Each structure stands twice: as structure tokens, then as C-alpha cells.
Structure 1
Amino acid sequence: MRDLLAQGHVRGSATPRIVDAVQDELARVWTDAMVINLGDRLPFELAVIEVVTNTVKHARPPGGEVELDLEVEIRPDLLLARLFELGAWPAIIPEGSGEMPNPEAEAGRGLALARQLLTTITCERRDDGNVWTLTLRPEHEAE
């Protein structure tokens, strides 16, 4: 892997406020990694925001709190995000979650969209949380 262009980090409670914090941090990261083409930045950012939003909506057990810890690394040949859901329900990824739901469906698009935008997306259970790993291998030439 080539040199690290930029890094980002956000940690906080899984509430709607963290989505804004993640967007702000990604905007900051891109200022350090301007050589990454917009055609790669936007899908990666959208996928990260979709997964974070999904966590805010679905990961909290009744009466519990979930802490999110997001790490982002940007390299010329790899965009990487690791999202740690600390104290979260075990993630249940339904069969067919990589396909867009019926147009009348009221939910289920976030994970499907993220899967379509990324090179890889994985989720594994560790201790009392989940770890999502999102990658995108840039297809566009650096600007």
C-alpha cells in the first residue's frame, strides 16, 4: 500500500449528532487528500454516512447506549473506514441486503447502497460490539 494521505477519527454516542460530526471530519480529511478524485470521494463518503446512520437507527439495545468510533485512512490506492459499534446489538445482515428493496419499501436501502458503492464491506462481531470495515479502491486517476 502506498503512503498515507490523510487520517480521520470521530468518537461519540450513537445519536444523530454523530452523523454531522462524521460529515465534518470527512470534509476535513478530503482537504488533506485532494488528489483523490471526486468520483471516488463521493461514493465512499456516502457509504460511510449510510452505515453510520444505520448504526444510529438500529444498533442500540433497549435501555443501552452505543458508542461509535470511526477511523478513516486515505491512501492513493485505498480509501478505508473502520466503524466500531461499542455496546451494540449483534449486527444481523439480512439475506439479499446487497440488493435494493422494492420501490414501495420504507427501509432497507442504506446497506444495499453502501454495498453497491464500495469495493468491500464487512461486519464482524467482537466482544460487545460490531466492527464494520469499508473499502473503496479508487478507479479514477488522481486529480
Structure 2
Amino acid sequence: MPKPLAEGHVRGRATVMIVDDVQDELGRVWQTAEVISPDDRLPFELAVVEVVTNAVKHAKSPSGDHVELDLELEVRRDLLLARLFELGAQPVNLPENAGSMPDPDSEAGRGLALARQLLTTITCERRDGANVWTLTRKPSEDS
């Protein structure tokens, strides 16, 4: 497998502060992977930030302790990849309509739906006591 153009990593408590750290890390990654078009970078970045923000808002620890988030980023010419680990979190309980756009009058519930529209794939699985979100986007041929 070819070497990635860029890799990134952010780890910290599931608080609003980590969202800023994620945005900073994505900015650093894009400086290294300049060949990826903004038409692919921006939707991928928005989706990653939406999923991280969703984890900050909704990931809960069964013991009441803090949840830690661990984000791994990998950029290749043919794939943008993010893995978000919700460490110490209860299993995700996604409602049946998760990932569908809510009614226009609704004040919440758009994050996963938006991410789904911007990504090639989005999955969540339980692995080793953590929720693992995997987000991918295949760059356009122009990148």
C-alpha cells in the first residue's frame, strides 16, 4: 500500500475544546496534502467535525467518568479516512431515523445526516469497549 500523503492524530476529553483541536489538526494535514482539492477537503472536514461534535454532545460513560475521543486521520490520493474512537463510552444507540434529515422546523439532528451526504461511507461499530466511527471519502479524479 502506498505511503499516505499525510496523517494526523488528536486525543482528548470529549469536550467542546477538542473540536477546535480537530479543526487545527485538519488544517495541518491539508498543508501537507495540498494535492487534495478543496472540493474534497471541505466536505470531508465538515463531516469529521460534525461527527466529533456529535460525540462531544452524545457520548456518555456508563460510570459517569469522562469520555475520551481519539481521532486518527489518513490522507491518500485515493482515500480520505478518519477513525474516531469514543473511549469509555456506552455503546451507541442510534435511532432508526439516524442519518435522515429531520423536519425543517427541527432544531437538531442534522449532523449525522449531513455527514452521510458528504462522505462515501460512514460506519459505527463496537470494538474493544469503544465506539469506532469510520469515515471515508473518495477524492474526485481531479485531486
Give the TM-score normalised by structure 2: 0.94
- 1:141 counterpart residue number: 142
Q: How does 1:41-52 map to 2 (within 5 A)?
A: 41-52=41-52
Q: Which 4+ residue blocks in structure 1 deviate beyond 6 angstroms?
A: none
Count the aligned residue pairs: 142
Question: Is the contact between residue 3 and residue 76 of structure 1 (CA under 8 Å) also seen in structure 2?
Answer: no
* Distance apart, 1:97 and its partner CA: 1.9
- 2:95 counterpart residue number: 94
SS in structure 2 at match of 1:123: strand
Which sections of structure 2, spanning at least 5 residues, go unmatched?
Answer: none
- 1:61 counterpart residue number: 61
SS in structure 2 at match of 1:18: helix
Residue type matched to 2:57 in 1?
Answer: K
- 1:114 counterpart residue number: 115
What is the alpha-carbon root mean square deviation over aligned residues?
Answer: 1.2
**Per-residue Cα deviation, 1:107-141 (whole angstroms, up to 9, x for no partner):** 11000000010000000012321000000001241
* Distance apart, 1:44 and its partner CA: 0.3
Q: Determine the C-alpha separation between the residues in 2 that align with 1:30 and 1:65.
A: 30
* Distance apart, 1:2 and its partner CA: 4.2
Q: Determine the C-alpha separation between the residues in 1 that align with 2:66 and 2:120.
A: 31
**Per-residue Cα deviation, 1:66-125 (whole angstroms, up to 9, x for no partner):** 011000000000000000000112112222222210011121100000001000000001
Give the TM-score normalised by structure 1: 0.94
* Distance apart, 1:36 and its partner CA: 0.2
Which sections of structure 1, spanning at least 5 residues, go unmatched?
Answer: none
SS in structure 1 at match of 2:40: helix
- 1:13 counterpart residue number: 13
